[in-house]
Structure 1
Amino acid sequence: MTTPEKPASPGGEAAAGGGPAGGKPGAPTPGAPARRGPAPATGIARFMGGQPTERSMDFAGSAKRLLGTLRPERSLITVALVLCVASVTLSVLGPKILGRATDLIFAGVIGNKFPDGITKAEAVEQMRRQGNGTVADLLGSVDFTPGRGIDFDAVGEVLLWVLLIYVGASLFGLVQARIATTVVQRAVFRLRRRVEEKLGRLPLSYFDKQPRGEVLSRATNDIDNIAQTLQQTMSQIVTSLLTIAGVLAVMFWISWLLALVALVTVPVSVVVATKIGKRAQPQFVAQWKTTGKLNAHIEEMYTGHALVKVFGREKESAEIFRKENEDLFQAGFKAQFISGVIQPAMMFIGNLNYVLVAVVGGLRVASGALSIGDVQAFVQYSRQFSQPLTQVASMANLVQSGVASAERVFELLDAEEQSADPADAPKPDRVRGEVAFEQVSFRYEPDKPLIEDLSLTVRPGQTVAIVGPTGAGKTTLVNLLMRFYEVGGGRITLDGTDIAAMSREELRSHIGMVLQDTWLFGGTIADNIAYGAPAGTSMEKIVAAAKATHVDRFVRTLPDGYDTVIDDEGSNVSVGEKQLITIARAFLAEPEILVLDEATSSVDTRTEVLIQQAMGRLRTGRTSFVIAHRLSTIRDADVILVMESGRIVEQGTHDALLEAGGAYARLYEAQFAEPVVEA
C-alpha cells in the first residue's frame, strides 16, 4: 500500500547542486523549454530577475471551445431556446397590441370633436374645405366614428391582453433562466472535474516549471470567472439576439421606411463595438495573467514567510507585491475602462436612432401614412431594438474576460500528460521486493547526461543506503523507481516485471515513501497517520503504529490526543513531530518496498536513535532504500551505494567501504573529523 507522501521535492536533494547532476526532477517534454532553464520569475526567484514568456491569445478558437463545453446539455439548451423564443415573441407583440389601445383612445377623442350623424368621410372632407389639409390627412388614418367617444371596454380588453402577454413572457423567461443556470453550472462542474483529473495526470516536470499559485489561480479564479461569464452572458446574449430579430421583423411589418431609418445606426454600432473590443481583449488577457503571477507570489511568500523574515527580504517581497499589484491595477483599469466605453457609446448611438425615428415617424403620421398607435409602437420598438444592441455590446467586457480565463484553463488542459498505463498491465504473481536496475540512463536535458548505464540488483529484504554529495542523483534514482519520471534507457524491474509495463497505481501500491519534506493535511493526527492505510483501519492499529514510531509519547501530551486537529500547514506541531507522523503513516501502510529520503533529518539525536530502532522493525522483511547524508544512520545497511555524477562509484558494507579508503571513507572522515578552529 502506497504511503501517499508528496512526491520527492522538486527542490529536494538532487536539486541542490545546481549543476547538470543536480536540479529539480522533471524530464523535459517535447517542445518544452529545457528543464534547467530559468525558474519562473515569481516570488523569491524574481529577486534574481527574469520574466515569464506570454503565449499569444486565440479569442475565436478559445470562445468556440468554451461553447463546446455546453455540448452535453444539448437537450436542456433546446428547451431553453424554445422558451426564450416564446418569451421574446410575446415581448415583441406587446408594443404592437398596446399601440391598438392608443389608437382606440385617440379615435374616441377625435370622435367627440365631430357631431353625431355624419360619416368619417364627411368629417375629413369638412376639414379639407376649412383649409386644414394636413389635419384631414391625419384623420384619414384614424379609425373613428363621429359623435362616439372612447370605447373603454375595448381599451380594457386590449390592456388585459397586454397584461397577459407580458406575464406570459416573464414566466417563460423565468423558467428559461432557471434552465440556463442549470446548464452553466453543470458545464462548470464538468470543467472543474476535468481540471482536477488533468492535474492528476500531469508529470512532475509540469509542476517544476509552474509556480504553485499560478496553477491554483487557473484551477480556482479562472474557472470561477468562466462560470460568472457564462451565467451572465449566455442567456442574455441569446435573448438579445432573438429580440433584435423579432423587433426588426415587426418594424418592417409596421413601416419599411422607419425600419430602414432605425437600421442606419446598426453598422455604426457594430464598428464602434468591434474597435473597442479589439483594444480591450489584450488587456483582459494581461489582467488574468497578472492575477496568476500575483497569486503565485502571495502564496509563495505566505508559505515561506519565516525565511523571508530570517533573511530580511520583507522589503524586496513587498516591492515585488507592489509591482505586481500595480501591473494588475493597470491591466484591470485599462480592460474595464476600455470595455466600459462601449455602453455609453452605444447609448449615444441609440439616442440618435430614437431621434431619427421620432422625427420621421411624426412626419409619416402627419401625412396619414401611419397611425399614432403604430408610431408609438415603433418608438417603443426602436428602444427595444437599441437596448439589446447596447446589452450585447456592454457584455463584451465579460465575454472577453471569460474567454481570456478559458484560454488559460485550456492551456492547462492541453499540457502534455505522462504516458498512459498499458490497458492490460501485468502484475507480479507475488511481490517479494526484488528490484533491478538494468543499464538505466536518464537525463533532464538532452545534452547533459545525469545517469548513464546504471545497473543494480537489490534482493528482497535488503536495506540499500544511497549516499553521495549533493546533486549526485540519489533522489533521482528513487524517483525513477517510483515512476515519477520515466527512464531514458534501460529498464527497472520489480520481481522480474518491467515497471514501465505495470500501472503506476499497482506499482506504487507496493511502495511506501517518507520524505524529508513532510506533508500533512488539515485533519486530526489519527486521520493523518491512517492516510496511507486501507479505509476503515481500526484505531488500535493506528495507535500501535504511533507507539512503534514514538508518536504516541507526544500525542498523549496534547489536550485532544489523537483527535487533535492539525491545520493544513501543520503549524501546531513541530517539524520533528510532523516527520514522526509521516513515519507512522508509512509504518501503518505496511508496504513491500520502503523508501526513506532523509527521513530523520528533522529529529533530535535521542529521537533519531528511537526512530532507527523503529525503522529496524519496519524494514524487517522489506526491501528498503535509504537516502542519507548523516552516515551514522546507515551503518547497518546491507549495501551502501556511493553515487557521484549519476554513477555508482562504490558499493559494499559500511566496514568494507571504510577499509577501501575510497569516496565513502572520504565522506565519512569529512563528516566525523574534529573541526579545526583557527584563531
Structure 2
Amino acid sequence: MKENAINTRKTSYLIKRFLPYFKKYKGILAMDLFCAALTSICDLVLPMIVRYLTDIAATDVSQLTVRLILSVGALYLVLRVIDLIANYYMANIGHVMGAKIETDMRKDLFEHLQDLSYSYYNNTKVGQLMARITSDLFDVTEFAHHCPEEYFIAALKIVVSFCILCSVNVWLTVLIFAIIPFMIFFAMKFNTKMRTAFKKSRNQLGEINAQVEDSLLGVRVVKSFANEEIEERKFEEGNQGFLNIKKEMYRYMAGFQSTTRLFDGIMYIAVVVAGSLFMMEGSITAADLMAYLLYVVMLLNSVRRIVEFTEQFQRGMTGIERFIEVMDEEVEIQDAPDAKELDSIKGEIIFDHASFRYNDSDEDVLTSIDLKIEAGENVALVGPSGAGKTTLCNLIPRFFDVTDGRILIDGTDIRDVTAHSLRSQIGMVQQDVYLFSGTVYDNIEYGKPGASREEIQEAAKLAGAHEFITQLADGYDTFVGERGVKLSGGQKQRISIARVFLKNPPILILDEATSALDNESERIIQESLEKLAKGRTTLTIAHRLTTIRDAKTILVLTEEGIQEQGSHEELMAKGGLYSRLYQLYTADEEIIGM
C-alpha cells in the first residue's frame, strides 16, 4: 500500500463495497427512510395548503371561515407532530445505526490488520494505520446515516414537486427544472477536486500521526542529542503541509458553494420573472405563483442540505476508500482449507530444501536449506549479520512462508496446520522485548490468558523475576509504562522469559536474547534461559558465542547457506569459520575486560 497515493476510486465502486454493512441493519434503515418520507410529506403539504387557502381567498373571501382555517391548521399540526416523532427517530436511532456500522468496520479492519504479515508492517507506518482505524472511520458514522437519508429526501421532494408543479403549469416547471442539470454538472466538477483534496488531507494527517508517534516514542533519544528543535521543524513542515492541503480543499468547497448559490439566484429569478409573465397571460393564478415560490424555496433548501452534506459525503467516501485500501491488502499467511490443529507435538523440526526470498527482492535470503533438528535438541545459529539467522527462525512459526521446499514439525508440513495451533506450540524470546502498557501481571499472563496468580508467580520464579517484582511499588500490580519504560532492560527480559515459561511451549526460539544486556543481567538471564530450554527443542541465535558452547549442535550460517555444523569442540577442532569467529570474539572480550 502506497501511503502517498492520491488516486481515487469510482464512487459507485466504493458504495458497492460499503453497502453490505447495511445488511445487518436493513430494518433500521427501512424505518429511517420511512421516517424521512414522513418528514418530506410535511414539507410538501405546506405549499399546497397555502395555495388552497390563497385560492379560496382570491376567489371568494367569504368562504374562508374560521372553522376551515382551524381545520387546516389542526391537520398541519398533526403532520408536524408526526414530523417531530419521525425526526427524533432519524436523529437518534439513525445515528446509532451509523455508529454501529462504524464499529463493525473498525472491528473488521483491526481483525484484518492482525492477519497481515510481517512484510506489510515492514512497509507501513503505524501512524498511518492509526489514522485509518480511528479518525478515518469517525466520518463513516455521519455518512452511513445521512447519505441514504439526505439523497432519499432530496429525490422524493424533487420528484413529487415536479409532478405537483406540472399539474399547475408544465412550461414554468420545465423551465425551473431545466436549470438543475447545469447545477449538478458544475457541482460534480468541484466534487472531483474536493474528493482528491480530502484524500490528500487524510494521507497528510496520517503522516503527521506517524511523525508524532516516531518523535514521542524516541523522546529519550531526542533529548539525549538535544535535537528538540529538529523535531519541531519536522513537525512544523508536516503541519504546514496539512494547512496547505486544507486551503486547497476549502478553495474547492468555496467554489462549490458559490456555484450553487449562483444557481439558487437564477432559479428565483426564473420563477419571479417567468411566473409573472405567465400570470399576466392568465396561465397561472397568484395562488399558483405563491405555491411555486414555496416549492422552489423548499427545493433550494434541499439542495443546500445536499451542498452542506457534500463535505461530509466526501469525507465519508475518503474514509471508506482508505478503509478498503487496507482491507484489500492480501493476507499472505493463510490457513489451507483443510488445515488441521497441531497439538501434543514432540518438537522435531525438518527444513527440506527450504528457500526464502522477500516479495520485493529477486534474491534468496535462504537457499535450499536442509536441516534436521531432533525433538528436545539444543541448536545454536551463528554467523555474520544478514546471513538469514532470524529469517530462518521466523519461517518456523510461519511469520513468512518458504518460497520453495517445506518445513516439517513431527513430520507434518507446517502449511497443513492452522497458524494459530502452530504458533501456540512455539515460544519466542527476542532481543527487543515488547511489554504492553499495563501491569507486570498482565504482561506475564499474556503467555497464557486466564492463568491463575499462582501459575504466574511460579513462572516468574522460574524466570528469576519474582524477587525484583515483589520489590516494586505495587508488586505484580505495578504498571510498567508504555513499552515497559519503567523497567530496566534486564527486568523486561526476565518478564518476557516468564511469559514463555507460562506458555510452556515444546519449541523455543531465542533470538539474541541477552546481547543488549550488561554482564550481570546476562548471567541472570542466561541461567533463566537454560532452565527454560531444558527438555524443549531450542534454537538460539547467538551474538555472544561463549553462551552457546554447550549447545548440542552449532550451525554456522552465511549467505551461501549452512557452512559448518557440529558441536563447539568439533568446530573448534576443524579450525574453520566458527573457530575464527570464536577466537575474534574472545579476543574482543579480553580487550574489553582489561
TM-score, length-scaled by structure 2: 0.93
In the alignment, structure 1 residue 57 sits paired with structure 2 residue 8: yes
Partner in structure 1 of residue 212 of structure 2: 298
In the alignment, structure 1 residue 530 sits paired with structure 2 residue 445: yes
Cα drift, residue 464 of structure 1:
0.9
Output aligned runs, 1:609-648, within 5 Å.
Answer: 609-645=523-559, 647-648=561-562
2:369 to 454, 473, 477: 454
Residues 175-221 of structure 1, C-alpha deviations (whole Å, 9 max, x = no match): 24444324322322221122112112212111111112112222222
Give the length in aligned residue pairs: 589
Q: Distance in 2 between matches of 1:159 and 1:365?
A: 28
Partner in structure 1 of residue 513 of structure 2: 599
Task: Specify which structure has the higher proportion of helix.
Answer: 2
Structure 1 unaligned residues grouped into runs of 5+: 1-31, 33-39, 41-51, 108-141
Residues 56-113 of structure 1, C-alpha deviations (whole Å, 9 max, x = no match): 2213222332344324433332333233223312320122113333445xx3xxxxxx
2:354 aligned counterpart, secondary structure: strand
- What residue identity is the alignment partner of 1:144? D
Q: Distance in 2 between matches of 1:453 and 1:271?
A: 62
- What residue identity is the alignment partner of 1:612? Q
- What residue identity is the alignment partner of 2:520? R
1:581 to 457, 480, 495: 495
In the alignment, structure 1 residue 418 sits paired with structure 2 residue 369: no
Cα drift, residue 431 of structure 1:
1.0
Q: Distance in 2 between matches of 1:539 and 1:149?
A: 88
| Shift in CA distance, 155/228, structure 1 to aligned 2, threshold 3 Å | closer
Partner in structure 1 of residue 202 of structure 2: 288
Partner in structure 1 of residue 398 of structure 2: 483
Residues 433-457 of structure 1, C-alpha deviations (whole Å, 9 max, x = no match): 1111122111225531221121111
Output aligned runs, 1:227-246, within 5 Å.
Answer: 227-246=141-160
1:463 to 378, 383, 390: 378
1:661 to 570, 575, 589: 575
2:60 to 144, 169, 178: 144
| Shift in CA distance, 567/634, structure 1 to aligned 2, threshold 3 Å | same
Judge conservation of contact 1:340–1:394 (CA < 8 Å) in 2: no
Judge conservation of contact 1:340–1:397 (CA < 8 Å) in 2: no
- What residue identity is the alignment partner of 1:75? G
Segment of structure 1 superposing worse, 408-417 or 667-676: 667-676
Partner in structure 2 of residue 125 of structure 1: none
Partner in structure 2 of residue 409 of structure 1: 323
Q: Distance in 2 between matches of 1:516 and 1:376?
A: 80
Partner in structure 1 of residue 26 of structure 2: 74
Residues 581-640 of structure 1, C-alpha deviations (whole Å, 9 max, x = no match): 101111111110111111123433223222222222221111111111011221221111
Question: Quick check: which has more Rg, 1 or 2?
Answer: 1
1:523 aligned counterpart, secondary structure: coil
In the alignment, structure 1 residue 553 sits paired with structure 2 residue 504: no
Cα drift, residue 463 of structure 1:
1.1
2:483 aligned counterpart, secondary structure: coil
- What residue identity is the alignment partner of 2:289? V
- What residue identity is the alignment partner of 2:436? F
In the alignment, structure 1 residue 398 sits paired with structure 2 residue 316: no
1:437 aligned counterpart, secondary structure: strand
In the alignment, structure 1 residue 472 sits paired with structure 2 residue 384: no
1:322 to 201, 213, 236: 236
Q: Distance in 2 between matches of 1:606 and 1:534?
A: 31
- What residue identity is the alignment partner of 2:373? V
Cα drift, residue 412 of structure 1:
0.7
Q: Distance in 2 between matches of 1:272 and 1:175?
A: 34
| Shift in CA distance, 372/472, structure 1 to aligned 2, threshold 3 Å | same
Q: Distance in 2 between matches of 1:509 and 1:294?
A: 37
Judge conservation of contact 1:287–1:332 (CA < 8 Å) in 2: yes
Segment of structure 1 superposing worse, 53-62 or 208-217: 53-62
Output aligned runs, 1:563-574, within 5 Å.
Answer: 563-574=477-488
Q: Distance in 2 between matches of 1:630 and 1:473?
A: 17
2:37 to 85, 102, 105: 85
Cα drift, residue 313 of structure 1:
4.7
- What residue identity is the alignment partner of 1:627? I
Cα drift, residue 362 of structure 1:
4.1
Cα drift, residue 171 of structure 1:
2.2
Judge conservation of contact 1:467–1:627 (CA < 8 Å) in 2: yes
In the alignment, structure 1 residue 358 sits paired with structure 2 residue 309: no
| Shift in CA distance, 369/426, structure 1 to aligned 2, threshold 3 Å | closer
In the alignment, structure 1 residue 389 sits paired with structure 2 residue 303: yes
| Shift in CA distance, 556/446, structure 1 to aligned 2, threshold 3 Å | closer
Q: Distance in 2 between matches of 1:646 and 1:170?
A: 77
2:407 aligned counterpart, secondary structure: strand
- What residue identity is the alignment partner of 2:46? G
Cα drift, residue 476 of structure 1:
0.5
Cα drift, residue 432 of structure 1:
1.0
CA RMSD of aligned residues (A): 2.4
Cα drift, residue 540 of structure 1:
1.4
Judge conservation of contact 2:426–2:508 (CA < 8 Å) in 1: yes
In the alignment, structure 1 residue 511 sits paired with structure 2 residue 426: yes
Partner in structure 2 of residue 46 of structure 1: none
State the percentage of identical aligned residues: 31
